[in-house]
Amino acid sequence: MALTFSAYLFQEREKVSWLNDEAILLLGEIASATKEIAGKVRKAGLLGILGSAGKFNVQGEEVQKLDELANEILIESLKNCGKACQITSEEVEECLVVSESGYAVAFDPLDGSSNIDVNVSIGTIFSVHKDSVMKRGRELLAAGYVIYGPSTMLVVSLGNGVSAFTLDPESGNYLLSHPEVKLPEKGKIYSINEANREKWLSKGLREFIDYLKGEKYTLRYVGSMVADVHRTLFKGGIFIYPADKKNTSGKLRLLYEASPMAFLVEQAGGLASTGEADILDVVPSELHQRVPVILGSKWEVNKCLEFIKGEA
């Protein structure tokens, strides 16, 4: 019988200095909330919760009913567990400050909004800092995501590697299915919204993608960051959301998309860069700040940086 997520957390307590009972409670609460979200996602077409909620979030994006529901489930769980001092969500303009100190959690409740209505993989991304969300990713205690795909999987790092759990629909437990996720040094896949090619600000990036084609790489792009990063973590290669004429700092948000994914990728042996610096070294200046994202296998990320810097 595989280890449950709760048993795993108690086991890791021996190795991870910050992992006390309070942190275990908080992480368990996040995992439980994602099980509830998974249940709603599975039945969305039957519950009448597909489609737009008829409003726009702080970033001007149309909010889906499931975005809203997932957001409420996570906020309620975090408030109730009493261990979160700050809660930041993609769907909420301000950071919810509950107390002075504790765990600061940032999340994207339902990533991949454009895929909700068409039954394509979507996910929840989360990160945990001590006391404040406005810290560099390098200071994260933990980060992870849940992918609602053919299986529901929880992929998490406590700063000592990456472990993946699969939700067992029978027992309702997340069971350890991939104890040590390691990103291949080099892959065969690139993942980028190539429809934006002419809008990309970097000419070097266009040349890099042409180079990969010459090297017989193939393209996979789901349009849900969770799904595209999940594939990259397991199969290697590169995922990019660059700056373009429309999104001059990229589209993905630092605190609850780029930074937690960068943490996981580095913990699995890969690299994650903005093109100028490691994503984990970016000091946040705004809650919903965006950054360009280049992440994946070391070989491809380094090659991409050479092209962008004009050194290739």
Query: Of 22, 36, 61, 207, which one interacts with ligand AHM (CB under 6 A)?
Result: 61
Q: For residue 111, state whether it binds Mg ion (rule: CB under 5 A).
A: yes
Query: Of 71, 121, 224, 274, which one interacts with ligand AHM (CB under 6 A)?
Result: 224
**Of 103 and 241, CB closest to ligand AHM:** 241
Q: For residue 109, state whether it binds ligand AHM (rule: CB under 6 A).
A: no
**Of 69 and 81, CB closest to ligand AHM:** 69
Query: Of 105, 212, 225, 240, which one interacts with ligand AHM (CB under 6 A)?
Result: 225
Q: Are 192 and 221 in contact (CB under 8 A)?
A: yes
Pairing, β 218-219 against β 163-168: unpaired
x/- track of binding to ligand AHM for residues 175-214 (CB under 6 A): ------------------x---------------------
Virtual torsion, Cα 56, 62, 65, 70, nearest 10 deg: -80
Which of the ranges 2-10, 21-29, 221-229, 270-278 carries the binding residues for ligand AHM, by CB under 6 A?
221-229
- When CB distances are held under 5 to 8 angstroms depending on the partner's kind, the choice from Mg ion, ligand AHM, none that residue 303 binds is none
Q: For residue 91, state whether it binds Mg ion (rule: CB under 5 A).
A: no
Q: Are 286 and 199 in contact (CB under 8 A)?
A: no
Q: For residue 289, state whether it binds ligand AHM (rule: CB under 6 A).
A: no
CA distances from 80 to 20, 25, 185 (A): 18, 11, 42
Q: For residue 89, state whether it binds ligand AHM (rule: CB under 6 A).
A: no
Shortest distance, position 262 Cβ to ligand AHM, whole Å: 14
Which of the ranges 104-112, 144-152, 209-217, 272-280 carries the binding residues for Mg ion, by CB under 5 A?
104-112
Shortest distance, position 144 Cβ to ligand AHM, whole Å: 16
Query: Of 77, 86, 88, 113, which one interacts with ligand AHM (CB under 6 A)?
Result: 113
Which of the ranges 91-99, 108-116, 168-176, 278-286 carries the binding residues for ligand AHM, by CB under 6 A?
108-116
Long-range CB contacts (< 8 A, 24+ apart) of 244-252?
244/196, 244/199, 244/200, 244/201, 245/199, 245/201, 246/196, 246/199, 247/290, 248/201, 249/289, 249/290, 249/291, 249/292, 250/274, 250/290, 250/291, 250/292, 250/293, 251/290, 252/225, 252/290, 252/291, 252/293
- Contact residues for ligand AHM (CB under 6 A)? 61, 90, 108, 111-114, 193, 223-225, 241, 251
